[in-house]
Amino acid sequence: MIKPMLPTLRQFIRSAMATIAAVIAAACLAGCGIYSAEPITAWVVDADTGAPLEGVHVVATWEVRGGLEGGNLVGYLKVMETVTDKSGKFHFSGWGPRPNLHFGGVDNSSPSLLLLKRGYEYKATSNRASVTTPTPSRFTSDWDGKTLRLSRTSDTPGRRPRDLDLMMIDVESLKMYGDHWGEIHDFLCEMGLEVTRRLGEHTEYTLADLEQRYDVHCHR
């Protein structure tokens, strides 16, 4: 009696899987969309001297937001990492087309750029956009062809640097929503060195903490 039921069970499973796939595909077509991005080339200089900064670690993210109010971070469509050369230039290749498989919409201020270099304050910036700005299907960066400026750190003794806290929030989000740390390895190592330099060894996200708790292996 069991064997005759197997084909029916298989048919039921296939039908259920096909239905689920169709629902996901319909949701994607209705709200997710297909996206791509233009290349980004920009420069980073010292805010005081205007000198080009080599070795600035730059991460580009295209965020997806959703939830009940539609404004909560739920994932990332794309995450990329690079570093500036001797002239302070960095470049991200274009990408796409890529479907958004998250239950949410791509943030219309994407891409966000996260910049970090030892001895300088962490900087995060994105495109200017309002709630009424439509989300494009092909993204460009407001910073393409332009110059970003980084300021040297000037920490106040006894006061926790605010830029480090902001950096940790951004990095934690990349871990929490999709586990994208594998895509920002060099940025994490630079963060570990900078946190150690400015906060000491006895705090989270130092180089030792990253290596011991999160298995991030950095070349010292």
Q: Is residue 218 part of a domain?
A: no
Q: Is residue 127 part of a domain?
A: yes
Whole domain around residue 123: which residue ranges? 33-213
Q: How far apart are CA 94 and CA 125, in angstroms?
A: 19
pLDDT digits (tens, 9 = 90+) for 174-213: 999 999 999 999 999 999 999 999 999 889 999 999 999 8
pLDDT digits (tens, 9 = 90+) for 119-176: 999 999 999 998 788 899 999 999 999 999 999 999 988 889 999 999 999 999 999 9
CA-to-CA separations, 31 to 68, 95, 99, in angstroms, rounded: 15, 20, 11
Is the pLDDT at 30 greater than 50? The verdict is: no
Q: Give the single-character DSSP code of 2.
A: -
Higher pLDDT, 29 or 8: 8
Q: Is residue 16 part of a domain?
A: no
Q: Which pLDDT does position 20 carry in this prediction?
A: 57
Q: Is residue 25 part of a domain?
A: no
Mean pLDDT of 19-42: 71
Q: Name the phi and psi angles at 162, rounded to 5.
A: -65, -35
* Tokens 């993210």 -> residue: 61
Q: Global pTM? A: 0.84
Angle ∠(26,140,175) on CA atoms, nearest 5: 65
Mean pLDDT of 79-86: 98
Higher pLDDT, 37 or 14: 37
Q: Is residue 43 part of a domain?
A: yes
Domain count, the chain: 1
Q: Which pLDDT does position 70 carry in this prediction?
A: 73
Q: Is residue 220 part of a domain?
A: no
Q: How far apart are CA 205 and CA 139, in angstroms?
A: 32
CA-to-CA separations, 181 to 63, 81, 215, in angstroms, rounded: 15, 11, 11
Q: Is residue 6 part of a domain?
A: no
Q: Which pLDDT does position 7 carry in this prediction?
A: 61
Q: Which pLDDT does position 202 carry in this prediction?
A: 87
pLDDT digits (tens, 9 = 90+) for 88-117: 999 999 999 999 999 899 999 999 999 999
Beta bridge partners of 34: 99
42: CATH: 2.60.40.1120
Helix (H, G, I), strand (E, B) or coil at 111: coil
